[in-house]
Amino acid sequence: MEKKNLPTVYLEIDIEDMESGVSAISFVDRPATEIEWMTFSQSKPEVFEKKDVERIITGPVMVTETPIYRYSPVVGPYFVKFSKKTVFDMMKKYFKENKIHQINENHDSKKKVDGVYMVESFIINERTRSEAFKDLPDGTWMASFFVENEKYWDEVVMEGGFTGFSLEGMFSERMEDELVEEVYSKIENILEHPSDDYIFEELKNLLKIK
């Protein structure tokens, strides 16, 4: 996707809030990072270094500072990003709360993936690199999953139904100054042409307008 000059919102978590952070990792056909995972099977042992490893999926869970396109009716198109600190905090919290088996398909909680579990997780930095994904920036969260379910491996993973990981969870937004100004400008414009008295009053309270 072409990266336009759009405003950016940084997504963050509250490490003290049980609801904040990653709730699950989803197998998706179009990962938001636009980077597909890499599969390792017995037929290609030279790629993974360990010849006894098979039915392993490896890829980035979240790439730091990578713009992910979003759209809001209030501000229009914009990007969201995750900083190095937020990605590291997300990974720590994910493990601390023992959510490593929370895996689904295409962000559908009713389509839980069974027989698949995380076997590796690390942050790319000066001491830990990925030979398979050499160009990813420092701070990126990498993960590997073992597909114990052989039928799932053959019929889903190897058939290419899903191509990458996508996390889901609750995040707070930290807007850049120009986006904050744009949001306020549009809200103020709404206030000038109110169509509903209740909305008008609530927006006035939000902006502390007398």
Phi then psi for residue 134, to 5 deg, are -75, -20
Say which residue, 2 or 166, is predicted with more confidence.
166
* pLDDT band of 200, cuts 50, 70, 90: low
Answer whether residue 102 shows pLDDT above 70.
Answer: yes
Packing angle, helices 197-207 and 177-192, rounded to 10: 140
Contact between residue 10 and residue 70 where contact means Cβ atoms under 8 Å apart: no
Query: What is the pLDDT at residue 63?
Result: 92
Residue 50's pLDDT band (cuts 50, 70, 90): very low
Q: Is this model's pTM higher than 0.95 or not?
A: no
Lowest mean pLDDT among 46-50, 114-118, 123-127: 46-50
Confirm if 121 and 48 have CB atoms less than 8 A apart. no
Q: pLDDT at position 54, please? A: 74
List the single range of 38-42, 67-71, 93-97 with lowest mean pLDDT: 38-42
- The contacts of residue 169 (CB under 8 Å, 6+ apart) are 13, 20, 21, 22, 23, 24, 90
